[in-house]
Structure formats: structure tokens, C-alpha cells
Amino acid sequence: MIVCLSASNIKHAGKNSTSLKICELIKEMVQRKNDEEIIVEVVSLVEKELIPCIGCGRCFNEDKCVLDEEFNSIYEKLIKAEALFMVSAHYAPIPSKLAMLLEKMEQLAFLKRFNNESYRSPLYRKPVGIIGHGGGTEEIIRYYKGPVIDSICNALSYPIEMNIVSGNNEQIKGVLLPVRNVKKVEYSIFPLQEYDWNDIENRLNPLVKNILKEIERARNKKDI
């Protein structure tokens, strides 16, 4: 199973959420490449009511957050998955619920690792593909790398030490997706963002392929 996490906080977008659409596209791509052998579960954070970490340290003995069952439910899915995709828009710099999720994941790993250097997180070396997007066209999406891709990558590195899978030689830590056009519309205070979904699929294709290769490699190791 693969978990594809949609980090968008925009509730009014519903099924038109760009993060959610990207997750659904990845799901279709994986099914096409694997004849539906691998199940992709889309997890949307928009409906989740996560609680910020308060650094109480009680997770050290419990291996979960004693205050946040919503987080625990998501975390269990991530642990059970063979690989992950994390899809995040550029907010300030990333959506607040994703920040809360990453903070707790990191805290769970850090406290154990600090007290026992041989400890490894349940997510250790699990493949993850990071995808960033926002309201930027091709000319400015490179500015999203630092706040979005690098922020998520840093959180999933030490002490969690996930396997950050690259898209290609130019996008080593993750894939950035541009909008085709941004418009003002009379009936809304929000911008209308138009996407070239064929182009987005082409940009995602190397990352999806590499994630599937990592899953196959891990399965082959188990069979030895």
C-alpha cells in the first residue's frame, strides 16, 4: 500500500483542491503502471483536527501522542504503508496541519534517538516522494523549493531518516509543479488557477516510477 497525503487546508475547495487532485492523479498513475496490484490510499488533512505538539514527552513511553488520536490514526497508516507521497502547497511556508504532523513525527523519533543512538524510527528508510505546488507559473516555481520541498525534506531526514526519493537529476529532493495561468474572477476573492494536467503527469512520472522501484527493491529483499 502507498499513502498519498494531501496537505491542503483549503476546505471550501472540496474535490477541486489541487493537492487532492494531484494525489488522485498519482493514484491513477500507480494503478496504470501496476495493474492495480498496489493500493493507493489518499489521506486528506483538510478534514483532520490535529493538535499542536506541546513537548510533554509522554510519547517517549507510549510511542504515540497521548493527546491526539487523529494524529495517531494518520501515523499508523504511514507506518503500515510501503511508501509515501506528500503533496503540499506553498503557504507560510507549508500548510499548518502538515507542520503539526511533521513536528510530532519528528518528536517521536528524536526523543527515542536522543536516549538510544541505535534506535530507528518505524519510518526509517521508507521511500517518500515530496511534491510542491502553489500559485506560481514556470518562471517562479523554483522559489518554492526552499520553503516547501526543503522544509518537508528536512523534517523527514534526521532523526526520522526516511528515504527521500528523487524525481530526476534536477529535482533530487522532490518535484515542483507550476500553474499554467492565474486569473482574477469577478465572483470570488480567490485566484482561479489553471493547470496543464498532461504536463503535470509528465513531471510526476519519473518520481512515481522511482517510488515503485523502491517498493520492488524492498519486496525483493524480503524474499531473499
List of domains in the chain: 2-223 (3.40.50.360)
Question: What element of type H or E holds 129?
Answer: strand 127-133
pLDDT of residue 168: 83
Q: How far is residue 78 from each of residues 4, 74, 85, 134, measured CA to CA in Å?
A: 9, 6, 10, 25
| DSSP type of residue 180 | S
pLDDT of residue 35: 67
pLDDT of residue 221: 83
Tell me the whole-structure pTM to 2 decimals.
Answer: 0.94
pLDDT of residue 20: 95
Question: What element of type H or E holds 4?
Answer: strand 2-6
Between helix 69-80 and helix 96-115 the angle, nearest 10°, is: 70
Give the span between the Cα atoms of 36 and 17, in whole angstroms.
24
161: left (phi over 0), alpha (psi -120 to 50) or beta: left
Write out residues in the chain with pLDDT < 50, as ranges: none
The tens digit of pLDDT for each residue in 162-178 reads 999 998 888 889 999 99
pLDDT of residue 169: 80
Give the span between the Cα atoms of 45 and 86, in whole angstroms.
11
The tens digit of pLDDT for each residue in 174-196 reads 999 999 888 888 888 888 888 99
Which residue, among 165, 125, 169, 126, has the nearest Cα to 149 in the 3D structure?
165
What separation, in Å, do the N-terminal and C-terminal C-alpha atoms of the chain show? 21
